[in-house]
Amino acid sequence: MFDLHAGTTHRGNHHPRVWLLNGPRPGDNNQVLGLGETLGWPFELKSVGFHSSPPVPKMISSQLRSLALAGVDRRRSSALQAPWPDLVISAGRELEPVARWIKKRSGNRARLVHMGRPWSRLDAFDLIISTPQYFLPERENILLNELPLHRVTERRLEEARALWAPRFAHLPRPYTVVLLGGNSGSFVLSCAKARRLGKLVNALTRGSGGSLLVTSSARTPADAYHDFLDGIGGPRHEHHWGAQENPYFGYLALADRIVITGESVSMLAEANVTGKPLLIYDIAERPAPDMPPWQRLAIRLSYRSLRDLFARTIGAPHMQRDIGAIQRHLVSIGRAAWFDEASFGSAASQQPWHAPRLDAQRAASRVQNLLAGVLPC
């Protein structure tokens, strides 16, 4: 949900040289930057651009890129040249082979840390930091955190609260924040689902009063967003993704409760760490139990390419994912509630909780241990 601003932090004399790879997906970039900021070491942010139509298919280029950076648009990318880093942090399929290419150019000296699901062999990385939505095995180089890392910290929330509280002072409390995601794999935010969510939000605010703070995301379909806005009433502030000034941190800081479409684990993690009551509106597409197999396949192909479906179906277990596992876990331990007609009572009674950033601290500790041998004395 964050707009990542490219920039470079210069390396000091007593720190490892750290490169953070910045790719096409904001959620991946925020995980990488979140770990980099938690480590506390100076880093260089290396933006990597890609050709819109790579000369070879992605499934092939992801293997070739580690040899020749196939598909990388060097004109839109930061310089990848010596002096080579001691540590490279990456996330996302596109950046995996870029990280491996850097390691080879460094004489295999650079340590590679990958966030999320690796599409390469698991032993291609010195450390993989992932979550239970992927079916990764227990291995020495794999750290499974509860949720993805992110950039939401107490300091940032306090700064955002100071900036945005005066701007929202005319809106009555409590503030119900609505974080609208969108289409991702089997999760689809249709106009019908958006209108249904609007009705639920209206019912929630009728009982408590207050105001709505609403934002779309990069994946939110424009027609679904407009249908949602048309269906809600009462005082509100709304933000359209891509607008110059983003109140996202302010929304999180000032929220009295948060309603979220649950398809983005990054948004779930960012909302969860605030400790505010969290209500998950499920937008997953589920075939009917009695639906014929051919119809199930047609539905799956409607939101996934045949190539991608083939890789996930016959590939290694970690090629698959179950975002629902993250959602169900948060609900089972009382840190979230489903937001629908059947569970409306429990959703409305959700309570705040204290949210320490244990995942970030655990990940930083593993990376620091990984580099213990290359840190200057």
> Does residue 167 lie in a domain region?
yes
Query: Same domain for 311 and 195?
Result: yes
* The model's pTM: 0.84
Residue 223 sits in a domain whose CATH number is 3.40.50.2000
Judging by beta carbons within 10 Å of its beta carbon (0-12, 13-18, 19+), is residue 317 exposed, middle or buried?
exposed
Residue 74 sits in a domain whose CATH number is 3.40.50
Q: From its phi and psi, is residue 215 left (phi > 0), alpha (psi between -120 and 50) or beta?
A: beta
Query: Same domain for 117 and 199?
Result: no
Query: Same domain for 87 and 200?
Result: no
> Does residue 295 lie in a domain region?
yes
> Does residue 71 lie in a domain region?
yes
Query: Same domain for 137 and 259?
Result: no
User: With a cut of 70, which residues of the chain have pLDDT below it?
Assistant: 1-13, 53-68, 286-319, 373-377
- Please report which helix (H) or strand (E) contains residue 214, including its range: strand 211-215
pLDDT at 373: 65
pLDDT at 19: 98
Q: What are phi and psi of 18, to 5 degrees?
A: -120, 130
Q: What span, in angstroms and rounded, lies between the C-alpha atoms of 189 and 207?
A: 26
> Does residue 245 lie in a domain region?
yes
Query: Same domain for 163 and 302?
Result: yes
> Does residue 1 lie in a domain region?
no
Query: Same domain for 198 and 278?
Result: yes
> Does residue 4 lie in a domain region?
no
pLDDT at 2: 37
> Does residue 219 lie in a domain region?
yes
Query: Same domain for 286 and 174?
Result: yes
Q: What span, in angstroms and rounded, lies between the C-alpha atoms of 211 and 214?
A: 10
Query: Same domain for 52 and 160?
Result: no
Give the domain range for residue 56: 18-150+359-370
Query: Same domain for 175 and 143?
Result: no
Nearest one of 268, 151, 265, 161 to 213, comparing CA atoms: 161
Q: What span, in angstroms and rounded, lies between the C-alpha atoms of 80 and 72?
A: 11
Express each pLDDT in 40-74 by its tens digit: 999 999 999 998 865 555 555 555 555 568 789 99
Residues 6+ apart with CB under 8 A from 254: 160, 161, 164, 165, 168, 175, 177, 213
Q: From its phi and psi, is residue 50 left (phi > 0), alpha (psi between -120 and 50) or beta?
A: beta
- Look at the chain and report how many structural domains it folds into: 2
Query: Same domain for 143 and 225?
Result: no
Please report where in the chains the tokens 């499934």 appear, as a residue: 59
Query: Same domain for 345 and 327?
Result: yes
Query: Same domain for 341 and 366?
Result: no
Ordered alpha helix ranges (H), the chain: 26-39, 58-68, 96-105, 154-164, 191-208, 222-231, 248-254, 265-272, 293-303, 306-314, 323-332, 344-348, 358-370
